[in-house]
Amino acid sequence: MIRFLDAGESHGKALVAIIEGLPSNFYIDIDKINEELGRRQQGYGRGERMKIEKDKVEIWSGIRGNKTTGNPLTLVIYNKDYENWKDFLHREAEKHEKIGIMRPGHGDMVGFYKYKTGDIRDVIERTSARETAIRSAVGAVCKQILEEVDILIRSKVESIEKYQDGKMNLFDEYTYSIIQNSPLRCYNKSIEEVIKKEIDRCKLEGDTLGGSVYISIKGVPIGVGSYTQWDRKLDAILSMGMMSVQAVKAVSFGDGLNTSLKGSEFNDEAYIKQQVIHRKSNHGGGIEAGVSNGENIDITAYIKPIPSVKKEIASVDLIKKQNVTNRYERSDVCAVVPASVVLENVCAFHILAEVMNKFPSDDFIDFKHMIKEYKEKVKKI
């Protein structure tokens, strides 16, 4: 059973997470976590702040010479921008101008009425997608562990605005290297060009763009998750994780959105070849009855356009209680690329958690051995 809590404001001193329940004796590669944080900060369409923050994680507990001890991990990512905000955030909120103008689409209004601190600044600081940096760090630790047991999580941008780059096999190394090198995490160069132009145009117009991300997970053994109770279904759990990421508004497994398929077409036909069960397709996205079936787990997450727009839209000043136009706070034009990275890592946490629910795991060596043994056993019919 692993779990974590994270904390921290967008311009506060640091983002912090505590992870409890990781197996001991796993060597954490901190550079690889930072690599994920770096990937998250890249992408065509990112705004100015990304130049300020070069996220680096520090691990304050739970390891000894980079090897996990079983003790809880503390992850810390300092906010470099904090120095500019320090005085502001440490003074009584009463002592400077409060933000009353809500930005529709953000949590400004709901937070203002829920927590009633009288200043939307307090809401912005936590609802900000900056929080995904620390959540990605948590996931990046899990991703490393998964890799060592041959479970790989990869992603690409499936579409931005109406432009479709589509799904493809992300475990074809050639294909994936193109995607990894693309500033838009796309495969098709022509689509990439069109999207770049669209992003440039939007930037000029003060507008933003959404899109979708395709995540594919390879190597999850048969039998992770359970159908015995609603809250143990792997797709339900993954769905919660992904929908909890800022700006995600829809989640689909396999060909879940393609309702034109009939049952006889949607079902992934099975057959034995050389003692191994194969499937002719993967419309189900690797999950049947809420349990992994050994095929790749394929997910698409839909990202709404960032609500921070320079374009004038109608809004309300909740303090002055009057109609106004929108307030703009520095932001990206398009967050689909970073979302792609964040979602890989968020999935990593949930996949590891559920794999660990199936296999004993105080110690990583045992854990790895047990999974390997199990995979061998279920491989051949």
- To a second copy, the closest distance from the beta carbon of 330 in angstroms equals 14
What are the CA-CA distances from residue 53 to residues 50, 180, 207, 249 (Å)? 5, 21, 23, 27
Among 6, 36, 55, 192, binds a second copy (CB under 8 A): 6
Q: Which tokens is 99 given? A: 């933000």
Applying CB under 8 A, which part among 35-43, 139-147, 148-156, 236-244 lies near a second copy? Answer: 236-244
Site for a second copy in 189-208 (CB under 8 A): 202, 206-208
Q: Does 274 bind a second copy (CB under 8 A)?
A: no
Q: Does 211 bind a second copy (CB under 8 A)?
A: yes
Applying CB under 8 A, which part among 49-57, 144-152, 172-180, 354-362 lies near a second copy? Answer: 354-362
Given the complex with a second copy, which of 70 and 183 has the nearer CB atom?
Answer: 70
Q: Does 155 bind a second copy (CB under 8 A)?
A: no
Site for a second copy in 283-342 (CB under 8 A): 283-285, 288-293, 302-309, 311, 313-316, 318, 321-323, 326
Q: From CA 50, how far away is CA 61, in angstroms rounded? A: 27
Q: From CA 57, how far away is CA 59, in angstroms rounded? A: 7
Q: Does 188 bind a second copy (CB under 8 A)?
A: no
Given the complex with a second copy, which of 44 and 176 has the nearer CB atom?
Answer: 44
Q: Which tokens is 31 given? A: 């550079």
Q: Does 84 bind a second copy (CB under 8 A)?
A: no
- Locus of tokens 């909740």: 318
Q: Which tokens is 299 given? A: 């997910």
Q: Which tokens is 235 given? A: 């797709």
Given the complex with a second copy, which of 176 and 364 has the nearer CB atom?
Answer: 364
SS3 164: strand
What are the CA-CA distances from residue 70 to residues 2, 44, 135, 149, 167 (Å)? 11, 39, 20, 18, 38
Among 31, 52, 86, 110, binds a second copy (CB under 8 A): 110
Q: From CA 329, how far away is CA 84, in angstroms rounded? A: 16
